[in-house]
Structure formats: structure tokens, C-alpha cells
Structure 1
């Protein structure tokens, strides 16, 4: 409960003004609720009983009673409207703030952190957890305001009849014990339910994201069963939470009713003895019936606290994460191709070292091919060029500037990465190329021509306005890659990094793309992760990586005879084809001998 109150304190400090108005409105409602009991008691004593005794209604008493009841009702309605409106403003502001903070933190955190956290969990942190953290804010102003109502009612009860007040107050220790037991029972169940909600989101995201794999391999039933198991576990956890709340709420509501019964029993005896009047008994009994509502309001807040604590802690776990990228104030200005230098670079995934003391120098305007066997660290090295990850040791410099010293957004203004796995949004061709960049259609078409994509885009029904579907499903793999390349080129990068980004494009088109990058007026320094001989042959220089180290570097013609690993890698297909042809020839000779 202490943790829950700390969470509420964060919200109150953040929205002091809104919270104050909401509580004031709730206090008005609470005071007027108590006033309604006094008005009812006054009307009973001064209007109802005299009319029963005398057989007529006094005009002055009737008018006064009507004005009292209407005035109290009007003020109560004003308090209710103000309380609900400002409580909603407070709740939704805090939820929106948490979502923005979590999203900004996701953007700040390095890619290495995202590799360790499933997408479903991240979605849950930004949605369900942020919502749960501030769920108690809706009833909170009412609960705080009704404290005024409780105090006012208590004072009115004591002033009216101390004996009946003492009888009714016996319910409060019972309420305190009930709340304590409830918190202890519900907190672990709410924690488990919130965690399962994130796990179900993760399974759903994986299934939707891998729809092609699921469909092509016939795994629909297995994925359905996997989701069903998670959903049923979440269902059972929510039912367990609901069972505890279902037991708590009726007991909490029953206690004030028991207090009313006790007051009526004792009050009946005091009425017979003449210690109190009927109007006093009606007033006291009515006040205790009113206490049921504020107690329920407090219960609503207490009921939401365990879930709120869980949601808040999961959100804070993201916001308190260290390791976000730090930025300097340097800029990468200029329009000419950039020079790239790597000095003593090392990188590890956890305890697994991927890159070791990598040194690399790419002069401005050159095209360099990164070549190496699978797992040699090529893609990781390419990610350091655009600062998706920071090296554990060493540095990456562009035009002599360490990327860690560049201001936020400065690297993406000068460097562009086109990955092998292309992602397109469910948007138009223009939208996917510009991604909100304020450029005209002429520049878009220029980038498409350079990416050898203008031909198929022109043939689309709507040209630049054609929607490509979710993840670009209406296009082929090669077309998607060329649009992704155009997306990078329209930004006129000074350094362009292609991580096997033309693997789905035929060699002739690839040759035109690389040649165009070299000949165009917006020439860039190009680093291309390559596997195909046709791609490698177009590079000015080749850097060969093996086991995370640069083992050789130079023109393709020089590396081929002197570097055995490089030669075996790039000629693997040719050697396999030669061996196959030799075997076919040998079998043909044997068949001729047998025939002879």
C-alpha cells in the first residue's frame, strides 16, 4: 500500500492544479451529501411530523424544505461534474506522459538493449502498463474528497448523538483489517496477470510478424495452440484477480449496512427512552447509509493500487534503464563524400566477442566491399558506421569526427544504411521513399532512377501514389530493396552503407545501381557488404573479415591470389560448378566405355 501511495504521489505532484480542482469539486460533493442528510432530518422534524400531527402543511416550512433540497442537489451535481472531468484530465494526461516517456526512452536506448527485450513486452510497457499505472487516478479525487465527507459526517454524528456515533464507528477497524488482507492477497496475483499480458502480446506479435513462415510451413495449428495456452493462462490469472475483488467489494459494501443496522437497533431504544427525537434518528441513519459510498470510493482506489504498482514498476524499469546513447555537439556538415576511419574497434554481444581490433580507412568517394564468411562480423561492423550500436573499444570516425561526439540526429543526416531485410510501411511509394522528408516529386524520381526503380514505379497503377501494402507485400523482394535504396538516396547521404541490400536484385541491375552511385553528381562514399562476385568486382577495394578481424585488404585482383580464405569464399560457386562438370564428364566417359 505504501508503494501505491508513492505512485499516487507522483501523479499528484505532476498535476497539482488539476488534482486540487478535482478534490475541491469532490469536497463540495461530500459536504453537500452530508448537508442532504441534515436537510432530510430538518424536513422530517419541521415538515413531515407537524403535518402528520396537525393534518396540514405549513407554507413556510414547505418552501424552505424545497429550497434546501434543491440547493443541495444543485451543488452536489456541480461537484460531481467537476470531480469527474478533472479526474479524467489528470488520468489521461499521466497515461499520455508515460507513453511518451517510454517511447522516447526506446529511441534513446541502443540497439543492443532492444535485442534483449521482446517486442511484445515493449508494446505492453507502452500501453497496458502505462494504463494500469494510473488507473487509480479516476477515483482518487473522489476518494480524497470524500474524506472531507467522512470527517464532516463524523462531526455531524458526534454533534447529533455521541452514543449512536460510537456504535457506527465500530465498522472502521473492520474496514482497515479487510483492506490489509485484500492488499496482501491481490498484489501477487496482479503482478502475475500483468506479466502474462506482456507475454501474450509477445506471442501475438511473433505470430503476426512471422505470418509468412507460419503459413508456408503449415504451423497455423501450432501457433494457435501456443497463443491459446498463453491466453488461457492470462484468463485464469485475471479470474483469480477478479475472484479476490469479487469477494472484497461485497464485504466492503456490507460493513456500512451492518453499521446502519446497529445504529437502528440502538437508536430505537434511545428513541423509546426519549433521548433522541425521530428527526435525529432519521438523520443519523441516513448519514450512515451515505457512508457506504465514500467507503466504496476508497475501496475503488485501494482495489486498483496493486495493479497500479505493478504497471508503474514495469514502466520505471524501462525509464530507469541506463546505457542510452550519449551525444555531443559536433556536426557532419558538407556535401562532398565523407571519409570513414575505424580505429581499434571491438564489439561483443554479452560475453561473445564479435569484432576484434578492427582498423579500416575508406577515403572519400571510394566504394569498398566488406567480404567474409557468415558470422565474421560484417553486419555488426556496418551498424557501427551509422551508430546503431557503439563499439566497446575503439572508435568510428567520419571526416575525423568520432560519431559519439556528433549531436543527436547528426549521423543520420550524413550517413544512411540500407539493410538486407527491407521494411516498407503500408503507405504510398512516395510516403515510403520520403518518410516525411520535405522533398518534391522531382527529387523522389531522381532517387528512384538512381536505384533503378523508376521503371516499375511508373508502371504501377497510381505511380508514386500507389499503396504498397503492409511490409510492401504487393511488390517483389527486388522491388522492395530498390525502394529502400531510393529512401536512403533521396536524403543525399555522404556515406552510404549497403548491408547486402541488393541481394534480391539481378546482377545487371545491381551493376547499374553501383555504377550510378559512382557517376552521379551526388556521389557518396559507399561501403557494401557483399557476397556475389559481380558485386565485389565493382568495388575499388575489398576488406576481408574472418573471425571478427580484418585479415586482408586491397583490390579484388590482388586478394584473390594471396588470401586463401577470400579465394575459397568468392570462388566457392565456381569451384562447385567446375567439380560438377568434371563429375558429369567422368560419368559420360564411363558410359561410353560401357557402350563400347
Structure 2
């Protein structure tokens, strides 16, 4: 199983195999054309200069210009191929990563961030950058060195020794820089997450004068990032400069070595110049690899994080489609531990609800009410037991098919960047009639019409200038959009004024007539007056469940006994 999961990234790379093969094909001709410069120098020094032939010089120059023009064209084509391979990889993986990113946000709330998309960008950018060219050109090193052996064996052995030295520099560079680069990347992610969390609470920070203290906290984390990045960059810079200096020195030394052999009449001046150029070309991939090692390390770290994400969050297999539910709910011996917690928030909860019933859930803080809401919707997994909707385990539904049959109004209302109509329509195709019907059911139609652009009013993630009550009522309209058969309302009147609460009561009555099953979590008795059944939770356990009046009477008796 793990092998199949771990191959998600590899499968995407395999799907791009033709692009890599095409890039390698063009690299073959590019590297052959790289011989143009040394061969031109060889002919100029050994034939043109010696024969003093102007015509030969012209012909050779025209051929040289033509070869470099073709090489430039091939380089451009290779670059375009790799850009499209990167785009293909992005298109293949981004939906999967985007879905896994949100699934991870549900399972591990502390890891809610968009870093996986940034990691995908890092991998794609490395694939389309110069660093990858080093891997295509490296296999040609033996060929260039072989040509140096043809010129003179000393040239070949000198190039091998130079290559080994640069290879050692590359290995040391990897050992020395990998850890600080990885640590700097990790610290940077934490600093970005901290800044994002702070930005989401700008009003609180500004109102209570917390910004200087928060700035100090962020600055401390940011300084750690800068410190680790400085260490990594300093170390990488040492080896990049060392590699560059060594390569230039080796090219000069081989030129001097060639001059010695020219003096000894063991080679020509053209071979001396061509040998220097050839060795520079042979060592170029190593030099480029060292210079782009930081980018390679970053891409490798990003690849590892993506692979771990896709292993931890496997893709959901499509299940056989089930009939749309009617709203019958069964909770069977459910134990649940919230993500990131160690203790169970629900312990052995059992009850069932018939379609069209309205049930209230009450209890003190930390009783497990919100956890039960998320369990009912299938957002959080159960440690034991099962949640059944119309007899089927809720996890046996395809989420995209189940979603339209569910409505959810959480405590913290999040509206998204877009128009009010798009938010109500859940960002699917906007059916104007359904949008208005949902808004009227939620009692928010008239309020929306009073906004500057009505249903086309644009709102941001924080709902712009909308009040808490307006956000809550638009969120209720979103929950009512379409034909949901099960509605979960978590503190639906927490931000409502008297008018909004009256509208909510009317909404509940409308839903009752339509036969919609409704679960309401609330502390306010006004919204609980018209419900059918009442569930009382305490310390994650079910204390009472039954007819609302009977449960309310029993609770009143408990209070009287406690008072006496």
C-alpha cells in the first residue's frame, strides 16, 4: 500500500518522461555543437594562421557562426521543453496536492498553511532552471576528457584530476550546506505561518496595542531565519567561489601545460587553445552543479515534504454512488479524539434521529458539542464506533456527492473572496433562483438587497465590512443552498440580534415543514423552544437524550436538587 501511495510524485514524473527524453535528445546535439569553439580555435591556429589563408578564415567563421546559431536555437527549444514539462508536472499534481493540503488542515489543524503549493513551485522552478542542465550535460564529461586524451595523454589525466577535485568540492558542499539550508527553510515556514496568523487578527492587535510585542516575537523568529540562511549562504558561497576559482585556475594551468608541450614540439598551438576550452567545457557541469546546489537542496527538501504529505494523505478512491440521503442519522458507540489532542472528547455516544427531526445539543464548555458536530458531518474520524446516514457509514459516501445534501454553519463563520451570490452558491454554478430561495429562507434577502451591489457585492475572506451577524446569516443561507437533508448549526445565533434571532426561528419552522433534519448546538433557550429532542452532553458522555420537554424538566429537577 505504501509503495503505491509513495509513487504519486514518481508517477507524475514518469508521465513527463517523454519531455525529459526530448530534452536529453536536444542536449545530445547541443553538446556536440559545444565542440564548435575548440575546433574553430584549432583550425584557426593550425591552418589559417599557418597558411595565412583569408578565404579559409571566412569559411570557418561562417560555419562557426552557423553552428552557434543552431546551438542557441536548440538551447531555446530545450528550455521551452523543460518549462512545459514543469507545467505538466504542476497541472498533474496541483489538484492532488491542493486536496491533500485541505485534508491535512482537517486532520492536523496546526499544519494549516499553503506551504505544499510553494513546495510544488520550488520543484517546478528547479526543473525549468539552469541547475537541471548540469544533469543533462554531466554525462558528456567523459567524452570531452576522451578528446583531451587524443590531444595528449597528459591533458586527459590533468582533466581527470581537476574533475576529481571539483567533485570532492561538490561532495563537501553537499555535506556542509544541506543541514543549514534545510533548517533555514523550516524556520522560514514557521515565520511565514506566524505572520499569516498575526495578519488574520490585525484588529485585535491594533485595538489592544499588541503589535509591538507581536512584532518582537516575529522579529525573533525572523532573525533565526536570517541567521540560518546567512550560515547556509556563507558556506555555499565559499564552495561556489572555490569551484569557480579552481576551474579558472585549471583552465590556465592546462594552457600552461599545453604551452610546455608546444615548446617541446609535442602538440600544436591550436591543440593547446582547444584543450583549454575543452577542459573548461568538461568541468562546467560540476561548476554549475555547485553554483546551483542551494536551489537543488531546496527543491529536494520541497520534494520530500510533498512526498510525505501525499503519503500521509492518500488520495480518496471513488466509491460506488449511494442514493441521496433522507436525513436519518445514527450515532453508534462513538468515541472521538480531536486532531492534535490526546484525550477523547466523546466517549460512547449513542443515539438515533429520524428524518425531519430537530435535535438540540446542550452542555457545558468542553462537553464535546462541537466535536460531535464535526463527527456527524464526517469531518473528523472516529476512534471507535460509526456515524450512519440513512444506514450507510458516512465515510462510504463520495464527499462531492454528499456535500450538496449537507448544510453546516460553524461557530466561526468564514466567507471567501468572491461575491455574496458565489458564497451562497458554494462557488459552484450560481443558480440565481436557488440563491434567492436560500437567502429568503435564512431571512437575509432584504439585507443583501440593501448592500451597494446587492448579491454581486464583493467580499473578502474576512467578509469585508459585514458585521458578525451579517456574516452568520449569509453563512446560514450558504448552508441552506440547494436541498440539504441534514443541517448542522453550531451556535447559529451567537452573533444575532433580536431581529436576526427571530428570522432564525422562522427558518427553523420552514425547515421543519420541509422535513429537513436539523442538529442545533446552542446555549440560548430561544432557539431550542421548537426542537423535538434534546441531547445533553457532559465530559464527552451522553447524560440525557429524549423529548425536549422531558429532558428540560429533568434538567430543572437536577438544578433544584443541587440548589437544595
Q: TM-score under structure 2 normalisation?
A: 0.90
Bigger drift between 346-355 and 484-493 goes to: 346-355
Q: How many Å separate the matches in 1 of 2:469 and 2:91?
A: 40
1:542 aligns with 2:534: yes
Partner of 2:111: 118
> What's the CA shift for 1:311?
1.8
**Counterpart pick for 1:131 among 118, 121, 124:** 121
Q: Is the 8 A contact 1:545 1:551 kept in 2?
A: yes
> What's the CA shift for 1:400?
2.0
Which deviations, in whole Å up to 9, do the C-alpha atoms of 1:383-402 show, x marking residues without a partner? 11211113222222222222
Matches within 5 A, 1:67-466: 67-95=62-90, 97-109=92-104, 111=106, 113-115=107-109, 117-119=110-112, 122-127=113-118, 129-137=119-127, 138-139=129-130, 141-300=132-291, 302-321=293-312, 328-333=319-324, 338-349=327-338, 350-466=341-457
Label 1:332 to 1:388 Cα distance change in 2 as closer, same or farther (>3 A). farther
Q: Is the 8 A contact 1:517 1:523 kept in 2?
A: no
Question: Structure 1: any 5+ residue segments left out of the alignment?
Answer: 1-5, 52-56, 576-596
Q: Is the 8 A contact 2:180 2:228 kept in 1?
A: yes
Label 1:409 to 1:557 Cα distance change in 2 as closer, same or farther (>3 A). same
Partner of 1:581: none
Which deviations, in whole Å up to 9, do the C-alpha atoms of 1:12-44 show, x marking residues without a partner? 634211112212222322211223211221122
> What's the CA shift for 1:473?
3.3
> What's the CA shift for 1:414?
1.6
Q: Is the 8 A contact 2:421 2:430 kept in 1?
A: no
Q: Is the 8 A contact 1:366 1:540 kept in 2?
A: yes
**Counterpart pick for 1:468 among 455, 459, 463:** 459
> What's the CA shift for 1:325?
6.9
Bigger drift between 408-417 and 146-155 goes to: 146-155
> What's the CA shift for 1:134?
5.0
Q: How many Å separate the matches in 2 of 1:98 and 1:16?
A: 15
Partner of 2:29: 28
Label 1:11 to 1:395 Cα distance change in 2 as closer, same or farther (>3 A). closer
Q: How many Å separate the matches in 2 of 1:12 and 1:489?
A: 43
Bigger drift between 361-370 and 161-170 goes to: 161-170
Q: How many Å separate the matches in 1 of 2:258 and 2:11?
A: 45
> What's the CA shift for 1:454?
1.4
Secondary structure at 2:415 match in 1: coil
> What's the CA shift for 1:419?
0.9
> What's the CA shift for 1:550?
1.9
Q: Is the 8 A contact 2:422 2:430 kept in 1?
A: no
Q: How many Å separate the matches in 2 of 1:256 and 1:378?
A: 68
Secondary structure at 2:148 match in 1: helix
Secondary structure at 2:418 match in 1: coil
Q: Is the 8 A contact 1:371 1:545 kept in 2?
A: yes
> What's the CA shift for 1:546?
1.6
Label 1:469 to 1:567 Cα distance change in 2 as closer, same or farther (>3 A). farther
Partner of 2:4: none
1:501 aligns with 2:496: no
Q: Is the 8 A contact 1:372 1:544 kept in 2?
A: yes
Question: Structure 2: any 5+ residue segments left out of the alignment?
Answer: 1-6
Q: TM-score under structure 1 normalisation?
A: 0.86
Label 1:146 to 1:443 Cα distance change in 2 as closer, same or farther (>3 A). closer
> What's the CA shift for 1:140?
5.1
Label 1:147 to 1:371 Cα distance change in 2 as closer, same or farther (>3 A). closer
Q: Is the 8 A contact 1:450 1:486 kept in 2?
A: yes
Paired residues, number: 553
> What's the CA shift for 1:95?
4.7
Secondary structure at 2:37 match in 1: helix
Label 1:184 to 1:443 Cα distance change in 2 as closer, same or farther (>3 A). same
Instruction: From the CA coordinates, give the structure whose radius of gyration is larger.
Output: 1
